[in-house]
A and B are shown apart, each in its own frame.
Chain A
Amino acid sequence: MADVLTFTDRGIYCPAGEFHIDPWCPVARALLTHGHSDHARPGMDSYLSTDIAAPVIRYRLGDIRIDTIRYGEVRQIGGAQISFHPAGHVPGSAQIRVEVAGQVWVVSGDYKTEADGLSTPFEPVRCHVFISECTFGLPMFRWPAQDALRDQINRWWAANAADGRFSLLGSYALGKAQRLLTLLDPTIGPILTHGAIEATNAVLRAQGITLPPTEQVVQGTDLKSRTGALILCPPGAPATPWANRFGSSSTAYASGWMTLRGIRRRRGADMGFVLSDHADWEGLNSAIRATGAERVYVTHGYTATYRRWLEEHGYDARIVSTAFEGEAADPTESA
């Protein structure tokens, strides 16, 4: 039997439906798991994403032809039956289920199994073949409980505020930043944002997602009267001249990579919070178990190691060959 999906130099392709999933070169029809830049690229003739993911994709890619689909809704594209299912990664993120002649394949996109109170929670989808990311596919990665993390972040902020210092918190603009917003305790002080993050906030608010009030830092912002505020910014921003205006400040990053001491130290931050929008080791294992799949393709991250682990547990495990891997396992967490 022919494979439902194949791996081409443009990305994952479905011959029966003549569409690509998260392609990185221009194609006729692109199904997108979510709006992060390593998945949603410009130049496709047409796009399909969930209705929740679409506004950000439109904001990021500009004038594109995009059709939307609800979670669980089934559509026929050529000889393939497709549906999108919650991946729990960022608002609107999806796993894409593709069925051809009774064979079911699922592309996970990026996912996390823990409910974050912002994205629609991950739902396992039964399938024959599962294509899974494994960004954090090593047993060292175990995410702390969200409550413990909330305390840790707010304690750090409160201590800085008490010392009259700003708190610079670096995180990705889409997903992680809004998740942090839901964890912050606004009674500690004002929450300011970098323009890149505020723009995404605005898109999400406009589609009805509730976020605590934030204020963008602009040229004339009176920082004196906001001493002790927390500033949410992209991960690169604390190291740029943009951050000089805050004077006395403490810097922290929120990322799964903050698990590792060496990376925390290399980032040179005062604090590292272990907060990821990807599945941790247990999350990957439980998600794969729940699919009931016999064959698993792994991509993103520690693929060779994770493949071997799956193989030892009886899976037909394969690597989506590196030529098709969108990004290297780099300390700058894949977004």
Chain B
Amino acid sequence: MKRFAELYAAIDGTTRTNEKIAALAAYLAEAPPEDRLWTVALFSGRRPRRTITATTLREWAAERAGLPLWLLEESYAVAGDLAETIALILPPPTRESDHSLTHWITHVRHLATLDEVTRKVGIFAAWDSLALPERFLLTKLLTGGFRVGISQTLTIRALSQATGQPVTDLTHRLMGNWTPDKTTWDMLIDAKTQTDLSQPYPFYLAYALEDPTDLGDPAQWFAERKWDGIRGQFILRDQTHHVWSRGEDLITNRFPELAQLADYLPQGTVIDGEILAFDANRPLPFADLQKRIGRKTVPKKLLTEAPVILMAYDLLENHGQDIRPLPFAIRRERLNTLCAAIPPSAPLRLSPAVPFTTTVDLARERSASRDLGAEGLMLKRLDSPYLTGRKRGDWWKWKVDPLTVDAVMIYAQAGHGRRANLYTDYTFAVRDGNALVPFTKAYSGLTDAEFTEITNWVRKNTLQRFGPVRQVPPELVFEIAFEGIRASPRHKSGIALRFPRMARWRHDKPSSEINTLDDLRQLLKIQG
């Protein structure tokens, strides 16, 4: 665990990509195989389940440290990280140990099966035998909240350096629902054949297009709508189908209506598309799809209220053959053939091509996006292979401009992680007559310098404190950008925004000139 803690500190302590990769590659080359396997699992989000609720853990940590719970809470508000807070306030360890990462993960999972009294004894003993960095990581594992500052892409690059295998192969191998219990290092990384029939392909992601003239000759490009649902892969192999989200969640059971596609598609088919709640000829608002995302099983009523389809973008596997290297135009042609053989009632549609000849046509089509329930346009080079990850050049997304309102900050709260101790999470209000109505929170979009300046202002201008939240005078005005708006009876304002963030700080605007609740209702009528 000491070695793993050093690795974690090395990755956490630098912003330089190459140093992160070098640290991880060195670790993967020398750690015992089961620790390597767990490291790759943890770094790709395959965490052991939570052993204990955060509430109980706080109580136990306060008890062990001999401190009142409120003081732990105050400390947590400053550090912004519960595991770190706990690791810091506990008394120094009285014993030394250097068990492996796998040992501690096994221990943590074993604790989960025990009764509460025994579990507590086990956790106290673990805390007592670990130095600060390892104790922090163990506590992260206990809460099920382990995260690390290295992306999957960089993890795979390090893995490639350590093993000498190509990045694309490794990316594919690490997809899917493997866990360290179900596989070994040899099977996952070294074995010649893949046996997991559910395994998806890595998604190809597009960068945002700033200027359409960057495309060059329009004749080289294909355009379609960028639909606003869940990007996913539909996989049919050996009579069994699987649906994966882009976030690598297996979501087959959440969308049972897609099962019937298995009746029409040939074995060995993998389609990349967008899962959309769909009504006749039009996508339903994202909010309708959202109702289905959180559920493992779907009640009948919801199946009729918010039925889904797969809007097909691309074909990755055809008759069991990986066709990602073929040009997009050919893959699209084959996808077209597959879709044409399917009855119109089945929940699969070919994402329609958007015809155009000039970039002016494209700009016009883009501005029609919201009316069609789309987020913008996708532009794909006709000869592009299906690449892995986010790559520049062959595919672009060209989203519509966000919606914006001007609002005033009324509450501020300290951020987490890198932004602990800075006030970065704000609640905003619009006017309703003489009253201010809170309508959204936002915590990104400003520079560190702006956050620092606002933090100083918040400290000097606090009207009232509610735990970690500070009420401030309604003076600072911000332009809030967002992607969508919907009615929400749960909120005081009656509306909820999608992806709100601060577009800029309006130093130039007094709070008397911010938008009103009526402005928002008007937007809801048009956009909702």
Contacts and interface: CB of A to CB of B under 8 A. Distances in A.
Nearest to A263: B421
Interface stretch (A120-128, A227-235, A302-310): A302-310
A18 B151 CA distance: 63
A304 B74 CA distance: 10
Nearest to B67: A139
A140 B78 contact: yes
Interface stretch (B411-419, B434-442, B488-496): B411-419
Interface string B46-90: 000000000000000000010110111011001111001100110
A312 interface: yes
B420 A140 contact: no
Given A262-B420, A312-B68, A331-B421, A138 B448 contact: no
Interface string A194-217: 000000000000000000000000
A160 to B, nearest CB: 13
**From B70, B72, B74, residue with most partner A Cβ within 10 Å:** B74
Nearest to A304: B465
A264 interface: yes
Nearest to B462: A322
Contacts of A262: 79-81, 416-421
A271 B74 CA distance: 26
A266 B418 contact: yes
Contacts of A263: 420-421
A286 to B, nearest CB: 15
Given A139-B75, A142-B88, A263-B420, A268 B15 contact: yes
Contacts of A81: none
Interface in B385-418: 416-418
Nearest to A266: B418
A330 B456 CA distance: 9
Given A139-B67, A266-B419, A261 B74 contact: no
B81 A261 contact: yes
Interface in B450-484: 456, 459-460, 465
A262 B71 CA distance: 19
Contacts of A330: 456
A159 interface: no
A138 B421 CA distance: 13
B71 A305 contact: yes
B325 interface: no
A139 B89 contact: yes
B490 to A, nearest CB: 31
Nearest to A331: B421
A264 B79 contact: no
Contacts of A140: 75, 78-79, 85, 88-89
Interface string A296-325: 000000101100110010000000000000
A260 interface: yes
Contacts of B418: 262, 265-266
B421 A264 contact: no
B456 A328 contact: yes
B421 to A, nearest CB: 6
A270 interface: yes
Contact of B13 (A264, A302, A329): A264
B78 A260 contact: yes
A259 B89 CA distance: 11
Main secondary structure of the interface of B (DSSP, over half): helix
Contacts of B322: none
A305 B445 CA distance: 31
B461 to A, nearest CB: 11
B279 interface: no
Contacts of A268: 15
B519 interface: no
Interface string A230-268: 000000000000000000000000000001111111101
Q: Which of A262, A302, A330 has the most B CB atoms < 10 Å from its CB? A: A262
Contacts of B71: 138-139, 305, 309
Contacts of A141: 88
B12 interface: yes
Nearest to A264: B13
Contacts of B421: 260, 262-263, 331
B367 interface: no
A3 B72 CA distance: 34
B448 A302 contact: no
Contacts of A139: 65, 67, 71-72, 75, 88-89
B78 A261 contact: no
Contacts of B417: 261-262, 265
B14 interface: yes
A138 B75 contact: yes
Given A138-B74, A140-B88, A302-B74, A328 B459 contact: yes
Interface in A253-295: 259-266, 268, 270-271
A261 B89 contact: no
A261 B12 contact: yes
A137 B74 CA distance: 11
Contacts of A329: 459
Contacts of B84: 260-261
A74 to B, nearest CB: 39
A140 B72 CA distance: 9
B63 to A, nearest CB: 14
A270 B10 CA distance: 9
A329 B460 CA distance: 11
A302 B468 CA distance: 13
Among A139, A304, A329, residue most surrounded by chain B Cβ atoms (within 10 Å) = A139
A259 to B, nearest CB: 7
A138 B89 CA distance: 9
Nearest to A328: B459
Interface in B176-221: none
Contacts of A304: 465
B89 A308 contact: no
A271 B88 CA distance: 18
B14 A270 contact: yes
Given A140-B85, A270-B14, A305 B74 contact: yes
A265 B67 CA distance: 28
A304 B81 CA distance: 21
Contacts of B68: 309, 312
A135 B420 CA distance: 16
B449 to A, nearest CB: 12
Interface in B6-50: 12-15
A260 B420 contact: yes
Contacts of B74: 138, 302, 305
30 contacts: A138-B74, A140-B75, A140-B79, A140-B88, A142-B88, A142-B92, A259-B88, A260-B420, A261-B79, A261-B420, A262-B80, A262-B416, A262-B421, A264-B13, A265-B13, A265-B417, A266-B418, A266-B419, A266-B422, A266-B448, A268-B15, A270-B14, A271-B13, A302-B74, A302-B78, A309-B71, A328-B456, A328-B459, A328-B460, A330-B456
The 8 closest A-B CB pairs, nearest first, are A262-B420, A140-B88, A265-B418, A139-B89, A305-B74, A328-B459, A138-B75, A140-B75
Given A265-B12, A266-B448, 6 more contacts: A140-B75, A140-B78, A262-B80, A262-B416, A328-B456, A328-B459
Interface of B: 12-15, 65, 67-68, 70-72, 74-75, 78-81, 84-85, 88-89, 92, 416-422, 448, 456, 459-460, 465
